[in-house]
Amino acid sequence: MTNKQKYKQAFSVLRSSCKITLEVEKMAMISRKAKFRATAAAVITICLLITGGSGVAYAADIGGIQRTIQLWVKGDQTDVTFVYDESGTYDMSYESKDGVMEEQHGGGVAIEEDGTERPLTEEELLEQLNSPVVEYEEDGTVWVYYYDQKIEITDQFKDDVCYVKLSNGEETLYMTILYQDGWCTSPHKYEPADSLR
């Protein structure tokens, strides 16, 4: 007789109590529940990924790629929904300080050295949106907005011309403003007012 058979014969007379048998069954049931929960969690995760992925595909399918970025709007950093189209146009919307949804649309072309036109790239449009802006308010004040700066220039006009030096920490711009007739910027010097008219 082998050792295995001897052990089998010796322990065959022993019986387990019901308590031990129930405990084994309980452990088996808990193990099955844990496997079921893990499978259910995996299925739910996959469904959420598929749903989220289709939302991104939908956003990209409305004519351009929609994303949320931060831009400086009237001196405040603001979350903006920005949609760029390969034709060189953009649409953006954001919530103003008053809680009103504002929209802005624009675009443009660049003229290459050989005279051909091409649509502006997304980077060029964003650079344009970060340029200084002059606003004429209903109360008669005139403001320049550049990054986090809000500068009132109402009293700085002489003969309908105003000169403003701006800096964002990395670059300095010299701005020449004609009262209600446009403005220009230069990284080197103020432009003569006569050249703008």
Q: What is the pLDDT of residue 35?
A: 65
Task: Point out which residues pair with 162 in neighbouring strands.
Answer: 177
Residue 104: burial class (beta carbons within 10 Å; 0-12, 13-18, 19+): middle
The predicted model gives 19-28 an average pLDDT of 61
Answer with the residue of higher pLDDT: 120 or 50. Answer: 120
Query: Would you give the distance in Å from CA 104 to the centre of its chain?
Result: 16
151 in Cβ contact with 162 (< 8 Å): no
Residue 84: burial class (beta carbons within 10 Å; 0-12, 13-18, 19+): buried
Residue 95 pLDDT more than 80? yes
Residue 145 pLDDT more than 80? yes
Question: What pLDDT, in 10s, does the model give residues 155-194?
Answer: 999 999 999 999 888 889 898 999 988 888 888 888 777 7
